[in-house]
Each structure stands twice: as C-alpha cells, then as structure tokens.
Amino acid sequence: MILNKRMGTTIKYLSELKKGQKGIIDSFTDYELSLKLLEMGCIPGEIIEVIRIAPLGDPIAISVAGYMLSLRKAEAATVRLKPN
C-alpha cells in the first residue's frame, strides 16, 4: 500500500486484495502489460473481485467484465485500484 498524502487515503494494488475482496481499476504501472490486460477486459472503472488464490499465493483468479481470469501475482501488482 502507498499512502497518498494529498488525499489522505491509501492506494491498493490488485495483488494486495484477499479472496472475496473487490476494487475498482484505476490505472496500471506497466505500459506493455497494461495493453494485454486492457484486451482481456481490465479497463479502468471496471469492478474487479478476487475469486481464488492458489495455495502458494500465485496465480490468482479474478472476476472482471463478467468472466474469470487468472493472473500471476506480478501481473496483479501492476493494477492500481481506486481507494474505497
């Protein structure tokens, strides 16, 4: 988590969410990977939910845009979520 001093809120990344938690996609930190994620429906403003986490924590299954997707933890760490 990163503290946003200007707004007094924390910025979460998809990789920080636990099973069952939801967030709203805000932006991406990796340009090349963001193109791949955008093509798969991970569009800013979409609600994203963690459905399953593998026993060793990698990969994770998420629900976005009405379907389920599997991401590596490193990929999920590039998805910035809006603070709730």
Q: Is pLDDT above 50 for 46?
A: yes
* Average pLDDT of span 1-25: 75
- What one-letter code names the amino acid at 40? M
Structural domains of the chain, ranges and CATH numbers in brackets: 2-82 (2.30.30.90)
List, as one string, the DSSP characters of 34-59: HHHHHHTT--TT-EEEEEEE-TTS-S
Mean pLDDT of the chain: 87
Q: Is pLDDT above 80 for 7?
A: no
